[in-house]
């Protein structure tokens, strides 16, 4: 066993043991604890959990690679702008209002705000988005295990499945939340230590965000000398239309991700939900201001070490990563030398997923740091995977089984169904991780597009337009999801139609799908029956801090759906929510107190 494998095994063993111990200590026996951690997570901890839940394998493993190699610097900024800008939208437009509305899941909100039909469509949307997203996470787990522990991708994904199964099924949202706090700590330390070390090594400045500018000037000059467009030059690989559309899809998708939105239901009250978003932005910024620097450092090192190097003299890190098929040399001219540049005819083929994981080795950092980075990559992938799997589990158990099939199910039965659903979701997620449709960040970007096209419009309109109807929301979600998914499948380089329509990339079509959703929802709402006066009043009260009585009555289950929607819903009675005829006063937190604290 090499020193790198040994240290990776040590860090992975220690961190996995920590996650399992936290899950065991946080195990739950109630649906409130399983779905929303009892609504009692402090804002700083919730912010760290949100950051870990959202900063997936794509952020940790792929994003710096995309910026460095996939999109040549400038174009890679769409990921920085989109994924961080979405949190501003989430904090301002959605999080506090959804928390005040007081439901378990996004489909729960959609069902109560619109109709049971809309709830089922939202369940389909949530499961579709989550499965596409989780495929990227499990694929990232396989990459880490394959390289650093010398096991196959399939074995690596299976190990990840077992770990996630244990702490997600045992602890539900409560176990996942506190595990994600630990996972955030691991991933951010693993990300920052090599960044600081390489920054100090290259520039003598230990702050990557500061030394980044110095490296950019050197990298621009080096690329121009090799016949490649300057690293910071605009629109060399992505045109302006796609820059706007991809940024929009990632931004609005972030604000519509069901596994992120549900995090705000775990906050103690509406004010805590707002502060959770603020803490999350701070924790996310630590990584997102560092990623561009790591991308530039890595590309500079790769170009300097490999350009013009004979294949027989490549460094050891190149050999290690080529053995697992994530970096390759296509010797087009047969001269046995790695030619980079030459008017874009580079012979070096690099998988975007290796950049962060390989950067410590490229820079010659010691084996313990390499092992720590591997553990950080696994933490990022597993933290997001667990959150996504809970969305799938809660959608099946709460929004389908309890709300539609067996509304008088006991808490024990609901928890059992939720855990079975999660186990099934883990199996399917593992299959998708072993057979992913693309590299990690590409797959994740597709999921963001689906979230933007399906959820964002109906959530915003559901909060800010009291006349938005159930028929409009249902039609809008279906139109946005179907058109976006169809376009993504059509242009994902499987059927040879990668050019698409007007050259729109599959990762940017979510913005178009979102616009379609908005248009369809608004048009259908104009010609269909308006919500009841009581529902319109409830929607209006959700937006005003001083209006709490109607909101609290709704959140506690004192208002029946037939009063809100003007029709009878035999399968959806709040008074039966936890079995035994007790009102749903635990979902999530304590609504009346939370309303007063706002």
Residue 162 has pLDDT above 90, yes or no: no
Whether residue 519 lies inside any domain: the answer is no
Average pLDDT, the chain: 79
Whether residue 276 lies inside any domain: the answer is yes
Q: Residue 57 and residue 51: Cα distance in Å, rounded?
A: 12
Range picked from 293-307, 350-364, 372-386 for highest mean pLDDT: 293-307
Q: Cβ-count burial of 212 within 10 angstroms (0-12 exposed, 13-18 middle, 19+ buried)?
A: buried
Whether residue 510 lies inside any domain: the answer is no
Give the mean model confidence (pLDDT) for residues 133-144.
76
Residues composing the chain: 598
Whether residue 460 lies inside any domain: the answer is no
Range picked from 83-87, 115-119, 376-380, 429-433 for highest mean pLDDT: 115-119
Instruction: Tell me if residue 31 falls in helix, strand or coil.
Output: helix
Q: Which residue has the higher pLDDT, 345 or 83?
A: 83
Q: Residue 215 and residue 208: Cα distance in Å, rounded?
A: 10
Percentage of residues of the chain with pLDDT beyond 70: 83
Q: Are strands 348-350 and 327-329 parallel, antiparallel or unpaired?
A: antiparallel
Of 157-171, 305-319, 321-335, 405-419, which gets the smallest average pLDDT? 157-171
Give the mean model confidence (pLDDT) for residues 314-333.
81
Q: Which residue has the higher pLDDT, 383 or 413?
A: 413
pLDDT score, position 30: 64
Range picked from 29-38, 80-89, 168-177, 260-269 for highest mean pLDDT: 80-89
Q: Residue 400 and residue 320: Cα distance in Å, rounded?
A: 48
Confidence grade of residue 93 (pLDDT, cut at 50, 70, 90) = confident
Of 24-38, 163-177, 284-298, 577-591, which gets the smallest average pLDDT? 577-591
pLDDT score, position 581: 36
Residue 193 has pLDDT above 80, yes or no: yes
Whether residue 485 lies inside any domain: the answer is no
Give the mean model confidence (pLDDT) for residues 397-401.
81
Confidence grade of residue 520 (pLDDT, cut at 50, 70, 90) = very high
Q: Residue 352 and residue 355: Cα distance in Å, rounded?
A: 6
Whether residue 245 lies inside any domain: the answer is yes
What residues make up the domain containing 222? Answer: 3-298+365-449
Instruction: List 349's β-bridge partners, or say none.
Output: 328
pLDDT score, position 512: 95
Quick one: which of 114, 361, 129, 418 has its CA closest to 259? Answer: 129
The phi and psi torsions of 499 (rounded to 5 degrees) equal -70, -30
Residue 592 has pLDDT above 50, yes or no: no
pLDDT score, position 131: 79
CB 7 within 8 A of CB 373: no
pLDDT score, position 515: 97
How many domains, in total, are found in the chain? Answer: 1
For residue 329, give the H/E element and its range.
Answer: strand 327-329
Query: What share of residues in the chain are helix, strand, coil (percent, to 5)?
Result: 75, 0, 25
Write the pLDDT tens digit of every residue in 549-588: 776 676 666 666 666 776 544 444 443 343 333 333 333 3
Half-sphere exposure of 294 (CA within 13 A, CB side): 33
Whether residue 490 lies inside any domain: the answer is no
73: left (phi over 0), alpha (psi -120 to 50) or beta: left
Residue 590 has pLDDT above 50, yes or no: no
Write the pLDDT tens digit of every residue in 110-121: 888 898 888 888
**pTM (predicted TM-score):** 0.77
Range picked from 172-181, 248-257, 420-429 for highest mean pLDDT: 248-257
Whether residue 437 lies inside any domain: the answer is yes
pLDDT score, position 462: 92
Q: Residues 510, 242, 325, 195: is their CA dihedral positive or negative?
A: negative
pLDDT score, position 469: 94
Give the mean model confidence (pLDDT) for residues 264-272.
75
Domain holding 409: CATH number?
A: 1.20.1730.10
* Paired tokens of 258: 């069901």
Write the pLDDT tens digit of every residue in 203-234: 889 999 888 888 888 888 888 888 888 888 88
Write the pLDDT tens digit of every residue in 33-83: 666 555 667 888 888 888 887 777 777 877 887 788 766 677 778 888 888
């Amino acid at each position: 066993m090499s020193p790198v494998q040994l240290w990776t095994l040590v860090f992975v063993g220690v961190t996995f043991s920590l996650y399992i111990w936290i899950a065991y200590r946080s195990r739950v026996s109630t649906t409130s604890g399983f779905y929303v951690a009892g609504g009692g997570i402090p804002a700083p901890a919730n912010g760290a959990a949100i950051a870990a839940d959202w900063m997936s394998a794509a952020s940790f493993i792929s994003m710096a690679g995309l910026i460095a190699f996939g999109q040549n610097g400038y174009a890679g900024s769409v990921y920085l702008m989109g994924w961080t800008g979405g949190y501003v939208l989430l904090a301002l437009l959605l999080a506090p209002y959804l928390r005040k509305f007081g439901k378990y899941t996004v489909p729960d909100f959609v069902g109560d705000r619109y109709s049971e039909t809309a709830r089922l469509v939202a369940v389909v949307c949530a499961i579709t988005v989550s499965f596409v997203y989780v495929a990227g996470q499990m694929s990232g787990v396989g990459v880490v295990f394959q390289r650093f522990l010398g096991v196959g991708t399939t074995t690596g994904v299976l190990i990840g499945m077992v770990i996630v199964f244990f702490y997600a099924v045992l602890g539900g949202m409560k176990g996942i939340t506190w595990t994600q706090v630990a996972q955030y700590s691991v991933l951010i330390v693993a990300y920052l230590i090599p960044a600081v070390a390489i920054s100090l090594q290259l520039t003598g400045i230990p702050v990557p965000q500061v030394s980044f500018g110095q490296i950019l000037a050197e990298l621009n000059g080096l690329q121009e000398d090799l016949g490649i467009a300057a690293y910071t030059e605009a629109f060399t690989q992505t045109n302006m239309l796609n820059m706007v559309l991809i940024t929009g899809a990632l931004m609005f998708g972030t604000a519509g991700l069901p596994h992120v939105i549900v995090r705000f239901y775990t906050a103690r009250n509406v004010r805590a939900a707002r502060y959770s978003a603020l803490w999350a932005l701070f924790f996310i910024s630590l990584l997102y201001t560092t990623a561009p620097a790591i991308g530039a450092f890595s590309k500079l090192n790769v170009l300097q070490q490999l350009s013009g190097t004979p294949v027989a003299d490549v460094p050891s890190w190149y050999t290690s990563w080529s053995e697992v098929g994530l970096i390759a040399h296509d010797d087009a001219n047969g001269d046995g030398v790695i030619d980079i540049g030459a008017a874009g005819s580079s012979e070096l083929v690099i998988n975007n997923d290796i950049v962060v994981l390989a950067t410590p080795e490229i820079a010659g950092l010691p084996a313990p740091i390499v092992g720590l980075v591997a553990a950080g990559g696994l933490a990022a992938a597993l933290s997001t995977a667990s959150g996504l799997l809970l969305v799938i589990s809660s959608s099946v158990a709460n929004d389908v089984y309890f709300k539609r099939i067996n509304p008088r199910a006991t808490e024990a039965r609901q928890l059992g169904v939720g855990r079975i659903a999660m186990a099934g979701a883990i199996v399917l997620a593992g299959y998708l991780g072993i057979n992913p449709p693309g590299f990690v960040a590409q797959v994740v970007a597709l999921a963001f597009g689906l979230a933007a096209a399906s959820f964002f419009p109906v959530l915003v309109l559901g909060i800010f337009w009291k006349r938005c109807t159930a028929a409009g929301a249902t039609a809008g979600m279906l139109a946005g999801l179907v058109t976006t998914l169809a376009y993504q499948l059509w242009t994902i380089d499987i059927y040879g139609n990668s050019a698409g329509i007007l050259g729109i990339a599959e990762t940017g079509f979510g913005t178009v799908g979102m616009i379609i959703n908005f248009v369809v929802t608004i048009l259908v709402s104009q010609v269909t029956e308006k919500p009841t006066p009581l529902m319109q009043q409830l929607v209006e009260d959700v937006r005003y801090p001083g209006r709490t009585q109607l909101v609290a009555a709704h959140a506690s289950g004192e208002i029946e759906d037939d009063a809100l929607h003007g029709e009878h819903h035999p399968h959806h009675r709040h008074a039966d929510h936890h079995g035994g005829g007790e009102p749903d006063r635990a979902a999530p937190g304590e609504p009346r107190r939370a309303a007063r604290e706002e």
